Chains A and B, each alone.
Chain A
């Protein structure tokens, strides 16, 4: 059974040598293609990256450019899923390096619309249009062992082998997963011997021990909550005891209000996780489950093979090391939306209680829903890109737009990007959905529609989506609609919606009209409404 977590132990406990990392045999076939555009060698990084990519369930083929100081980007493979710009900036002399790189990246941005990861060696940069990876933390950690000029003639880089291992670890566990795959949304934790040492039912509230390591683990989980991740409990304990624990143990960094869902009972943990996915309205593959009990982990993994798991260890510093490097938890840009999302999910519980005691119309009126449709909102590009890449269940055609792609679409004369923000009396949900539509003669083509799952299920789905489409058609001064839809592994909710409401627009364009019930919701349009 422990073999299931063999890779976790290998990476986080065994402290493998460089040769063990090099000799590791990958389990995954390459399904992603990453181009390394470079002026010094990346191969020493690639040689040790395989176990880290396996831990991230990633198979990557690395394609190398020639060594090119001029950054001509000649014969670049535009189909690559990601470009890594791997530059030794100490090779440039007598030029304004920052200005040069900025102008070359601007040029690349025009041609390549997916993510670009810029890893400069030598100087620190802050350049728009790329995600910049700073080597400074590794430089500080390794000090004198950061560079190795003796080996440069053979390795092709000034970076030491130790630095290359650190980079491969960070890229493989943290950066490449979030740039290539949807991120995680929530963490489900066990309590006994996971968040503290001891068993609540046996040792009592005051008897369980918060070791320094467990305190650091709780501190880190609290940081993840602030970054917008859902935090939930799946514990075999009495719920009242669990609440009592968090109310009385003032030394615990985590408080009861930090948890979005508490499943504390004697039913199976698989059932707890099922309940959590229903309450949060997210797929189980977006959850990370942490438990010290291998049996519990295996039972859950058997029922939900796509759930992510960490085997919590007695030494909580190991658990923290795994958690702080767990693929899919890195936030490259923390924004206000993350905070709103966390507040919104708590309000959903109150909405649920309201919907149980009121008629549908009373419920909607009681919420006081306000929808704001922003036309081509430049200030929301990063949020739109984030939503485009993390939405899995309610997405029409998996366009997975990057920020650069969205920026370009906003400049296209016949295209319209409409972001949908929602607020009600209970919370401000921020941007919860996006419509991408374009005009083709007298037809409006709906290229993409994605809605955050936390906004769905309030009985407003048709008003939000059909209302936004109606407003888009009015803005484009069109009446005919055609909908692009691609069935995927997980977008069943979107498929059901399209079948129910938009089926006749899938194959051929048809006249579309939807009466927005303004007596129930307030709709505001913002942005340039001039004719397109």
Chain B
């Protein structure tokens, strides 16, 4: 699951998965438009829906993974 989400972040942000893995808590790895692409991609893939606050929180790979897993039902 984590790898799959990282793969989506990689596709949207054009960063290598290894880079993302080594910078899980880094902010600023993607711009605001890429953020929209990433959220849309995750929502379509997992059939989930993020609210405004969650979208604002998902600024690092770790947060994206955490909140997506929560939505899908993984803890």
Contacts and interface: CB of A to CB of B under 8 A. Distances in A.
Q: Do A and B come from one complex?
A: yes
A17 B40 CA distance: 11
Nearest to B53: A150
A153 B52 CA distance: 9
A154 B51 contact: no
A47 interface: yes
Interface in B8-58: 11-12, 32-33, 35-37, 39-41, 44, 50-52, 55-56
Nearest to B54: A150
Contact of A154 (B11, B12, B35, B41): B35
Nearest to A149: B52
5 contacts: A17-B44, A150-B51, A153-B56, A154-B55, A155-B33
A281 to B, nearest CB: 48
Interface string A125-154: 000000000000000000000000111011
Nearest to A160: B40
Interface string A21-39: 0100000000000000000
Interface residues of A, number: 15
B37 A22 contact: yes
Interface string A142-176: 00000001110111100001000000000000000
Contacts of A47: 33, 37
Contacts of B12: 19
Contacts of A151: 36, 39, 55
A334 B37 CA distance: 39
Contact of B40 (A43, A156, A161): A161
Nearest to B11: A19
A153 B36 CA distance: 10
Nearest to B52: A150
A19 B35 CA distance: 13
A154 B40 contact: no
* Dominant SS among interface residues on chain B: helix
Nearest to B41: A19
Contacts of B37: 18-19, 22, 47, 161
A154 B36 contact: yes
A151 B58 CA distance: 12
A175 to B, nearest CB: 23
Nearest to A161: B40
Contact of B36 (A17, A149, A161): A161
A45 B9 CA distance: 21
Contacts, number: 38
Interface residues of B, number: 16
B20 to A, nearest CB: 17
B48 to A, nearest CB: 13
A151 B56 CA distance: 9
A151 B52 CA distance: 7
Nearest to B8: A19
A410 interface: no
Nearest to A23: B11
B12, B33, B44, B50: most-surrounded residue (chain A CB, <10 A): B33
B40, B52, B55: most-surrounded residue (chain A CB, <10 A): B40
Given A149-B52, A154-B35, A155-B32, 4 more contacts: A19-B11, A19-B12, A153-B32, A155-B36
Nearest to B35: A154
A322 interface: no
Contacts of A44: 33, 36
Contacts of A43: 33
Contacts of B11: 19
A44 B44 CA distance: 17
Contact of A150 (B33, B41, B55): B55
Contacts of B41: 18-19
Contacts of B36: 44, 151, 154-155, 161
Contacts of A161: 36-37, 40
A162 to B, nearest CB: 9
Contacts of A155: 32-33, 36
A205 B11 CA distance: 54
B11, B39, B50: most-surrounded residue (chain A CB, <10 A): B39
A446 B32 CA distance: 53
A154 B44 contact: no
Contacts of B35: 154
A155 B31 CA distance: 10
A161 B44 CA distance: 12
Contacts of A22: 37
B40 A18 contact: yes
